[in-house]
Structure 1
Amino acid sequence: MSMALVGMLAGMALAFAGYFGGFGAFLLVAALGAVGFVVGRLLDGDLEVGDFLRGRDRDGRR
């Protein structure tokens, strides 16, 4: 099992407490699942923190 999948499941498990709150809880589960997925990808080495912090040049290239 990849770390991305583990991270996504962990985020969804943490948000499960909000499940009983309706649509807002649905959004919470989706958001925390996405955060967990990104953290898992970072731990796998597929992404780097610098990918989120780097700006773009004026012509749209990195």
Structure 2
Amino acid sequence: MPREVRHWSLTTLREKLVKIGAKVTRHSKYITFQLSEVAVLRRLFAAILDRIERLALPPPLDE
């Protein structure tokens, strides 16, 4: 995780990233999150989303 949030608990991370007020807008092929000013910094938010995106998905279950 980015240095400034390594000490955060999962609860804090959830509150800062998931429980934030945001407006989602879509223009043609782009989706934009308009976050309130009290949310985490854009650079930090992008770095955390990048880490989440790089998580490996579990293999599909064979039926």
Same fold (TM over 0.5): no
More strand by share: 2
- Tell me: higher relative CO, structure 1 or 2? Use CA pairs within 8 A at least 6 residues apart: 1
More helix by share: 1
